[in-house]
Amino acid sequence: MNKLREVRDEKKLDNKGFSLVELIIVIAIMAVLIGVLAPQYLKYVEKSRVSADADQIDACISAVEIYSSDPEHSVVTGEMEIKSDGTLNFPAPDGPNIKTAIEDAGINTANVTVKSKTFTEGCIIKFTTEGVTVSNKNIAKALGRATPPTPPTP
Render pLDDT for 132-153 as a digit per residue (tens, 0 to 9): 889 889 898 988 887 766 666 6
Residues 6+ apart with CB under 8 A from 143: 54, 57, 58, 61, 134
* pLDDT higher than 70, residue 33: yes
Confidence of residue 58 (pLDDT cuts 50, 70, 90): very high
* pLDDT higher than 90, residue 30: yes
* pLDDT tens sequence across 9-29: 665 555 567 888 999 999 999
pLDDT on residue 26: 95
Instruction: Compute the distance between CA of residue 75 and CA of residue 8 in angstroms, rounded to an integer.
Output: 88
pLDDT on residue 9: 63
Main-chain dihedrals φ then ψ at residue 90, nearest 5 degrees: -120, 90
Q: How many other C-beta atoms are found inside a 10 Å radius of the C-beta of residue 143?
A: 20
Instruction: Compute the distance between CA of residue 116 and CA of residue 88 in angstroms, rounded to an integer.
Output: 14
Confidence of residue 53 (pLDDT cuts 50, 70, 90): very high
pTM above 0.75, yes or no: no
* pLDDT tens sequence across 71-119: 888 888 889 999 989 899 998 887 788 998 899 989 998 888 899 988 8
